[in-house]
Structure 1
Amino acid sequence: MATGGMTEDLRLVGISKQFETFTAVHPMDLEVPGGSFFALLGPSGCGKTTTLRMVAGLEEPTGGRILIGEKDITSTKAYQRNVNTVFQSYALFPHMTILDNVAFGLKRRGVKGANAAAQEALDLVQLSQVAGKKPAQLSGGMQQRVALARAIVNRPDVLLLDEPLGALDLKLRRQMQIELKRIQSEVGLTFIHVTHDQEEAMTMADSIAVMNGGRIEQLADPATLYERPASTFVANFLGQSNLLQARINGFGADGVALAQTHGQDVLVAGDNVPDGIQDVWIGVRPEKLRLGEAGRNRLDGVVTDASFTGVATQYLIRMPWGFEVMLVQQNDGSARAQVGENVVVSWDPGHEFVLDQHQAGDAGVGLGDD
């Protein structure tokens, strides 16, 4: 089921939303390439759902413009926009068959061949075999796919997904992440997915805008966000980060920067150091650390916790100055450390990111856990 034709970009120009007592979305610019899978990611209250509702026409912006291609839809009523939304609640008509649910919008507009188009949409979400059943006869995951088919069949310019997998259990949610990405790729529509779930956004989206306090903290592809976060908030919100307070003391001839953290000398890639910044956070992801003297940077510590998860073991290791780093060791046959054991934690220069220390080290901590 192809969309037939080029999908146009969605552009938000200086868009903002002010309520009586607070600003939900500060003036911001955002461009979503046509035909891409885009995610708005952030904790509760960050402004992502308000942004989605403004695109849908369910909230009126305080300022700014919304454009699809060159068409300004800022003042267009919700029902007049070629934009569909899939919510966490499926909102299917319980008395109608699945086929009739999917065809409902087309029939209401008098579109010819509505049943054939609905059947094609059900084929896409691999539910053609349940066309004659009622919603109550389907599982939650199947109902969510029906809701998706009902939105796709209208061939919207933009399909908005508002926490669509939140009601599903973990295993089914992961299956649906793969399915959603496959479906988006096949139909070529612009998907904008709003979620607080980092793994969900990272799994599916081509690009992610991380929002915080009504502003975009960083917009990039998943790998860049994870490997090169632009702020401590992004570093902590997307997965786990070990942030070490450090000072840059100079640069070596081999492209590394010479740093010191709590009296310990370490080396970091010079290209990772922000220009003109001396007091920094050195951030190392848990899976980039190694037990033993495998890397050029080596810090002594004591294991305070070891949690075996099957594919890996997650350690907490207390540094001499009291800070605990998290280290994840894959279950690859390597010897495992025990609680109370003295160990060496190591990593190579270039496996870290470096941020300005003027940012709070705990920004974003715990906000992605719900």
Structure 2
Amino acid sequence: MQKRLNYLIQNLEKYQLDAIALNPGPSLNHLTGLDFHLMERPVVAVFWADGAVQIILPELERAKLARLPFEVRVSTFGDVVETWQSVYTQALESASKDTLRIGIEPTRLRYLELNLLQTALPNANFEDGSACIAPLRLRKDASELAKMKRAAEIAQNALLETLKTVRPGQSEKQIAAELMVQLYRAGSDPELPFSPIVSSGPNTANPHASPTDRLLGEGDFLLIDWGAGFEHYFSDITRTFSCGEPNAEMRKIAELVRQANEAARLGGKAGMTCGDIDHLARDVITKGGYGERFTHRTGHGLGMEAHEAPWIVGGSPVVLEEGMVFTIEPGIYLEGFAGVRIEDDVVVTTDGLLSLTDLPREVLPLETFC
């Protein structure tokens, strides 16, 4: 834990920030090991460039701090909302007259916490601290990779059990419900990376479809995008299946997507850019005549969040380094007809990209798994 804090302090100096302010979420857990859920009571931790750490939290959450392996300055408040600002102001009083640059996570810190901080530190400039924070979780160590591998195993085992029960005439919602049950039976954390996407027939052409009452029918594709959690780390996988015999164009796009996934998965390596990986997959689909139907980036980083850096998008200059984990998920979507996506989780190693996921990537008939 101290190693992570030391890295943060180095980044604060690098980006000339006086502090980073975090509320509950993956970054706070990564730095402290503390579990807080985002609620109406505003929990904030301030990590100062001199190494000091302050946590402002409800009195009822104070007992969690006993597990901390380092010293912190603690301020607590009760349930009277009108007193919260005075607690924040008093906790940060020593810095209230200073002109400060304080980084925040723009996609996570809410107005509630930001307003309390701005009032307590009126001379501070609160700015996007992503460049300082994101590198902390960019490269996974052996312990983190082991958790991600386990999260992938749990997800895959859950899907295999679910597929045994899938039959024509079931709704997308019924299949999704069974998958949720199997994820928890297989050992997933209560928190999943996202609600599973289960789509069939023409709904598979919507990349982020939500399960509906549509019934699975003969000749349909069935697309399932799901994941599991294990000790705060996630998996994120997509496979596509056929119910009955797909037509010629469905078979064609299925094979193109498989080839695109393979090209990026086997062709990627450390030293390439994220944009290079996107090109490897996209080039296959473009040459196959469906480039305009591949409507999203090839992948995204994965770890304590389902979507995090690095972003596998065309033109990205970010260089792949050992320990980075991301998805490879090319797709083709034919509106009103059918869609295919095949997604794997890979880690950058000295020998290339190692896939943490290994279910068959071909679009196989559902009866294969019964």
What is the TM-score of this pair, normalised by structure 1? Answer: 0.22
Larger Rg: 1
Higher relative contact order (CA 8 A, sep 6+): 1
Answer 1 or 2: which has greater strand percent: 1
What is the TM-score of this pair, normalised by structure 2? Answer: 0.22
Answer 1 or 2: which has greater helix percent: 2
